Structures are given as structure tokens and as C-alpha cells.
Structure 1
Amino acid sequence: MTARQALRLGGDRAGALAARVTGALRDLTLRPLSPYSAAAMRIGLAGLYVLHLLRELPHASRLWGPDSPFTPALFAETLAARGQDGAFAWWYQLLSTDSSLVFYGWYAVALLVSALYALGWHTRAMAPLFVFVVVAFYLRGTMANSGWALLSLLFANYLVLVASGRHWSLDARRRAKRGDIPSRYVVWGEETEELRRRAVTVLHNAGLGVIALQVMVIYTSAAMYKIRGASWRDGTALYYSMMSDDFSTFPELSAWIASHGTFAAVMAYVTVFSQVLFAALVFNRRLKYVILVVMLSTHIGIGVFMALPLFSAITVVGDLVFLPTSFWLAAAGLVRVWRQPGENSAPPSSETEAQAGAVPGQRVQV
């Protein structure tokens, strides 16, 4: 090969790479990624928060309200010590009151906002209001927060950027009835509307990217901490977990698992390796679903055997970000087949895929 041929070959490859990069950047402004996953995360997160508030309703006053040992005065001192007594102090102290009427009034507002967000009613407005609620409860319960509370706070903030009301929402149902383009946008001109669409798409894709990064950081950091522990390296970590009275839903079943040392050791190693390799395998088309199933099994085991259902559920919600639109369309097809077994269900049409955001350049109403 001559020098001229080598330069020409290198130039062709560089041009092809530049074209791929340009196409990918163009898609990020035109094609919203995983709109169904965004809707599922919205429903999962807000639905879990509704269940959380309802479950803790009998104990709410002692956890966050007037009967809490973390009194309003002590809470105010804590905020001042942390430097959080500035302009937003009124927000952080919404639940810090000696009045049961005021506290349960805000509690009812929190339930309503969470329910409306899960249903997708005016999703763009409900998303920041939901963050408003989650932050207030998180700071008020700062002395008793868990991993569930932290992840719900993080995901709630990230979902503000995401257009999660395009599917499985009251907003989507309302748009389907009145048409694709609301008349209020026409007055601003077609170019302004196109700019708005692209900006929303960029923010949507960025929000999903941050959520995916957060999930990978969680798994990788968890694996690094496990590797440092001797019990995870010698395979006895699950044994001690199962024998702990503080994390035991079914003591007899936990004791049975702990009695099978080889099985417990294998599960310990599977847990560590799946978390270490998660970031590398989840973007592989063939191994994506394998690693997600392994992680789902791990979360179910934690929720059932260690009495941490909310933590397990919120991590499953985070994993949904890695499911592509094709998965949800295929799942919808299976549901149609199951509901109507006597009819032949046709595969999703190109129109359906376009509405799901699968065609680059296709406009999708926000």
C-alpha cells in the first residue's frame, strides 16, 4: 500500500467516523430516547411515593410531624448548622410545625401531588412540585432516611428534565383526543416551535443519560465497597445477612439458605460480579437483558429476604432506563395477545414506532 492509498483510507475512515458522530448528535436533538421507559419511571417513582406515604400515615406524626423527637426547634438548629437556613428555609421547614392540622394538610397535598404525577396530569408542572414534596420530606426525616429516600430524591430531580408524560399519562390521552399540535404554540411561529421541540428533546435525553449514569455509579460503588470487605471475598456475606434479626422477613427460610453454604457463597459472588460488570454489559444488545434479569433477581431477593421492599423497588425503577422502546412495544404486543388470544396481533406498525420516537427526525409532541 502506497502512502497516498494509506492517507486516502485514513481519510475515508475519519470521514465515516465524523458522519457517525454527526448523525448521533443530530439524533440527540431530534429523537427522544426511551419515552416509554421515562413514563414507566415516572409511574414507578411517584406510585412508590404514594404507597410510602400511605404506609407511614399511622406513624407520620412521629416521623415528620409534631410528635417527632426531632422537634421543630432542633430541626431549625440543624438547618442553621448546615447552612440551610437561607432563602429556602421556609421550604425545608414546611413539615416542621407543632400544629397537627398544618402538618396533615401538607401531608394531604403531598399525597395529591404524588398521585397526579403518577397519573401524568399536567406532567410538566407536577414534576417540579413532586421534587418540592420529596425534598421537604427528605430533609425533615434526615435522621431516619434510608437508601430508598436518597434514590427517590435523586430520581425525582432528574425526571424534571425528562418528558415523561408522552405515554401512559392523562396528558397523552388528552393530546390524542385534540390532535398532535396544540394551537397555543402556533402563534410563536414554526421555527420557534421547532427550536422548542429540539430543546425539550435535548433535555429529555440528557435527563435519561444522567439517570443511567447514576444507576451505574450506584452499582459500581456498591461493588467496590463489597470487594473491600473480607466477608464478600470469602463468600460468607450472605450468611451473616441472612442470620441478622434486623434484616429478616422469613427467619426460617433465611436460616435454610444460610445452612447451604455453597449456595450462599455462589450468590455472594454473583452479586459482586454482576455489579462490577453492570456498566460494561448493560449496553451490549445480547447481554443487556441477562444482566438486567440478574439485577432484578437480586433486588427481589433483597426486598423479600431482607425486608427492604421500597429500596429494592426504587432500584428496579432506576434499571428501567436501560430498556429500549422496542422492548416496551414487544411487551405491549404480548399483552394484546394475552388479552385477545383468539385474534392475530399484528406487529407494531411504522406509525406506532414513529409515535414512540423510534424514527430519527420524527416530531413527538411534548
Structure 2
Amino acid sequence: MRAGRFAAAIGRGIARVTDRPLASYQTAVVRIGFAGTWLLFLLREFPHRHEMYGPDGPWSWDLAQQLIAGNGAFSVLMWSDSRTWFETVYALAVLSSVLLLLGWRTRTMSVLFMVGVLSLQNRSVFMGDGGDNVVHLMAIYLVFTRCGLVWSLDARRARRSRAARARGERASPDRAGPALWAVLGFALLLVSLAGWLSAWWAGFFWSLWAIQGLWWSVGRRAPGHELRSLLDLIADVAHNAALLVIMAETCLIYATAGWYKIQGSRWQDGTAVHYPLHLDYFSPWPALSELLAANGILVMLVTYGTVIVQVAFPFTLFNRRVKNVLLAVMMIEHAAIAVVLGLPFFSLAMIAADAVFLPTSFLGRLGAGAARARERLFRRRDRRDVGKGEDRGVSWPGARRPGAPGPAEPAHVGFAHERSGT
């Protein structure tokens, strides 16, 4: 009897992992969070980009080439030391971040986002803080997730296509996707022939390119075919495995940080937080830092509280209520670090990583609230336009009087697990 129940439980677990992509909203928030964090960082450092990652940096191109030749890291900036090539790569990194944030062609943009992150960070390994390491890892993991199923332009396009088919209309053909696939394939061919990619990276990128082409071809020619179902299953398993890795990585970051802090004498006596508050580099608001450092009890509580929260968090995953409380505490703590210590991008990266543990019900309410706010905003604009048209005696096409019934609009974006080709 027990063996039968155990086998049934395993069967249900396997079915759940392979049946659909889990935590679609959480992975969407992770996508938006890390793309936004990297985008803001690139924009803020735009005036200093040459000194940080470009030809004017203290870590010269020759030194970076020697290091990468030894450790096998990936950076397209090593293909040329020209200033024009650097500007092109930096601009593409910004563009891919924007498009991934919006969720446009997320499968492709996640790969280009990873290329931009690895290229810049591996060019100058001594730049950045702990947040860069988190962005570095998550950029790789996002490639294997279906992070555009909700809250993305891809999800909106898929929903409109399904609505058109439900009305018996023919959906407009997808031209941008195949064109982008062909252009990137041609660029990958040139790079491979030039010998700029190692065998491992060439195989990796060509595999992703071929899988994307197969996915699009099967979805267009045989959307209900068994091969499409098999591709869906493989994508779901890869998504769920990458999601598990993201969760494990986040727990590992907190666990190692907490246990290393326990070994430090300053963390043991409760004074560790006192010292960074007196460093000019970590004091963007000197008056606020002095005010906090002057309160010994507050410093002790923050010091011990940080260690307790970081060590305890991985164990609270077994209790949803306690986990949610500690998750809120950690996000508030990172927000305080951003303000008090002047580490905004580190804090944003950690908050984006924490978002993978946010409850789906909370994200659902958040999305519904944003949709209602958007609907009210557009309704006010419609009323304002109608008023202007009436004042001038103009009848605007499609305008309606305030309170008149209008066409039905979706309450929010993607509140269903969608099997789309994003």
C-alpha cells in the first residue's frame, strides 16, 4: 500500500513538472527585474563606459585577452579592440535589455542579453560589486526559461492570435521572428567561419538557433502535431529545471553569506554594520549614516538580524507564511542598503532574485491592479478626447461618450498559463 502511494506521488510530481511551465509570473518578474537592473546600470555608466569596459580602461584589451585565453570565458569584445566595435556591442547590450524587459521575442532576446552581460563583465573582471555576479549567473539561467509567457509583448501577440482564430479569422503571419532568426543565423555563420567562437560556444549557439527554427516551423505548419507537443514538453522541463536552479542559487547566496558572517568576530559582537557607515565610499548620505551609526542598539539589531535572516531563509521555504515574512524583510533590507550604503544595483539584483519566491496570488493581484489602473488611465484619455471633439463639433472615429459601452478589453495581461511560441 505504501509503495503504491509513493509511486503515485512520484507520478504526480513528474506529471506536474512535465505538464506545464511552473511559476510563469515569477519568472516574468525575474526577467523584468534583471533586464531592468542591467539596463539602468548601462545607462548610468554610459558617460564612463570607455573607462570601465572600453579601450580607455586600466584593464587593457591585451590583459583581458590573456585572461580569457586562460580561463575560457566568453566576450565578443575580444574579437576586436576598435572603439567602433565597443560602441556597437554596448548599444546592442542596451537594446537587448530594453527588448527583454518588454518581452519582445524573449527567446532570442534572452540569448542576446546573456551575450551582452558576459561580454562586458568578462572584459573587465574587476568592475562591479556582488550584484554583477548575480546578474551574470541569472543571465545564463534565463536563456533556458519560458520567461515571456505572461506580462510580455509575446504573450499579447499570442493572445491576439488565439482570439483571431476563435473568431474564425486568419491570424497575421509572423514575419519579424523568421527575419530575426535568419539575420542572426547569417551573423553566426560569419563569426563561426572567422574562428572567433570556441567549439563549445559555437555548438551552444548553433543548437539554440536550430531549436528556435524547428520550434517556429512546427508551430506554423503543424500546431497540433505530436512533434509540437514533444517540443512543448522539452521546453517545460528545461524551464522548470532552470527555475529550480534559480531558486537554489538564491538560497545558496543567502546561506553562504550568512554562514560566513557567523565566522566573523565583528558579526559575532554585533558591530559589523557600524564600520561601513563610516566609510566615505559607502556614505552617499553622510548625515543619515552618522545618525544610524550613533545608535548602538539599532546597529546591533541590524547586524544580528541580517545574519539570522540570511541563515534562516533557505529553511523557511517549507513554511509559506514564514517564508513570505522573511522575504518581505529581505527586500526591505536591500532597499535600505541601496539608500544608506549607495549600492542600488546590487540591491535591485538581489530583489529581482528574491522575486522568484513571491506568491502567485500576490503577483496576480499586482497584475490585476496594474491593469485596472491602465484601464482607468485610457478611459480618462478617451473622455478627454471626446470632450475636445464635442467642443469643436468634431466626431472622432471610434470615440464614445463617457459611460457608453465600448469594446471589451482584457482585464490584464496573460493570467493563464499560455503555451505560446515565445
TM-score (norm 1): 0.85
Q: Which residue of 2 aligns with 1:31?
A: 20
CA distance in 1, matches of 2:294, 2:84: 51
Note the alpha carbon deviations across 1:241-266, whole angstroms, 9 max, x for none. 21222211211111111111111101
Q: Is the 8 A contact 2:34 2:349 kept in 1?
A: yes
Q: Does 1:49 align with 2:104?
A: no
Aligned-pair Cα RMSD in Å: 2.6
- CA distance, structure 1, for counterparts of residue 252 and residue 334 of structure 2: 17
CA contact (8 A) 2:103 2:153 kept: yes
1:157 aligned residue (117, 140, 158): 140
Q: CA deviation at 1:116?
A: 1.2
Match of residue 115, structure 1, among 98, 112, 129: 98
| Alpha-carbon offset, residue 282 of structure 1 | 3.0
1:185 aligns with one of 184, 203, 219: 219
Alignment partner, residue 105 of structure 1:
88
Which residues of 2 match residues 54-93 of structure 1 at below 5 A?
Answer: 54-80=43-69, 82-84=70-72, 91=76, 93=78
Shift of 1:143: 2.2
Please give the alpha-carbon distance, in whole angstroms, between the structure 2 residues aligned to 1:184 and 1:197.
11
| Match status 1:298 vs 2:295 | no
Per the alignment, residue 185 of structure 2 pairs with: none
Could you tell me which residue of structure 1 aligns to residue 212 of structure 2?
none
Distance 1:136 1:31 in 2: 33
| Deviations, residues 287-338 of structure 1 (Å, cap 9, x unaligned) | 1210101111111111111111000100000011112322211223444566
Distance 1:25 1:56, change over 3 A: same
Work out the CA distance in 1 between the residues paired with 2:217 and 2:66.
Answer: 51
Assess, with a 3 A threshold, how the Cα gap between structure 1 residues 256 and 122 changes in structure 2: closer, same or farther: same
Determine whether 1:220 maps to 2:280. Answer: no
Contact 2:19 2:236 in 1 (8 A): yes
Q: Once structures 1 and 2 are overlaid, which stretch shifts more, 271-280 or 330-339?
A: 330-339
- Equivalences for 1:115-264 in 2 at 5 Å? 115-179=98-162, 184-185=218-219, 187-188=221-222, 190-264=225-299
| 1:356 equivalent in structure 2 | 416
Please give the alpha-carbon distance, in whole angstroms, between the structure 2 residues aligned to 1:270 and 1:232: 10
**Deviation at residue 177 of structure 1 after TM alignment:** 1.3
| Worse-superposed segment, 125-134 or 187-196 | 187-196
1:307 to 320, 335, 342: 342
Percent identity at matched positions?
Answer: 38
Structure 1 consecutive aligned stretches of length 4 or more whose deviation exceeds 3 Å: 180-184, 186-189, 333-340, 351-355
SS in 1 for 2:250: helix
The CA deviation at 1:100 is 2.5
With over 3 angstroms needed to count, the CA separation of the structure-2 counterparts of 1:352 and 1:18, relative to structure 1, is: farther
Give how far 1:353 is off: 12
The answer (yes or no) to whether the contact 1:186–1:193 under 8 Å persists in 2 is: no
Distance 1:338 1:127, change over 3 A: closer
Checking the alignment, whether the CA contact within 8 Å between 1:36 and 1:356 is kept in structure 2 is: no
Q: Hey, what does 1:346 align to over in structure 2?
A: none
State the 1:21 CA deviation: 2.2
How much does 1:83 deviate?
Answer: 4.1
CA contact (8 A) 2:19 2:233 kept: yes
Deviations 1:196-235 (A, max 9, x none): 1111111111111100000000000000110010111111
Identify if the C-alpha distance between structure 1 residues 61 and 352 changes in structure 2 by more than 3 Å, giving closer, same or farther: closer
Equivalenced residue count is 336
| Per-residue deviation, 1:352 | 9.1
2:40 is aligned with 1:21: no
Distance, in Å, in 2 between the alignment partners of 1:288 and 1:355 is 24
Contact 1:152 1:314 in 2 (8 A): yes
Relative to structure 2, which stretch is displaced further, 278-287 or 215-224?
278-287
Give ranges in structure 1 of 5+ residues lacking alignment: 1-10, 341-350, 358-362
Question: How far apart, CA to CA, are the structure 2 residues paired with 1:353 and 1:30?
Answer: 22
Please list every run of 5 or more consecutive structure 2 residues that lacks an aligned counterpart in the other structure.
166-215, 377-410
Question: Counterpart of 1:70 in structure 2: which amino acid?
Answer: W
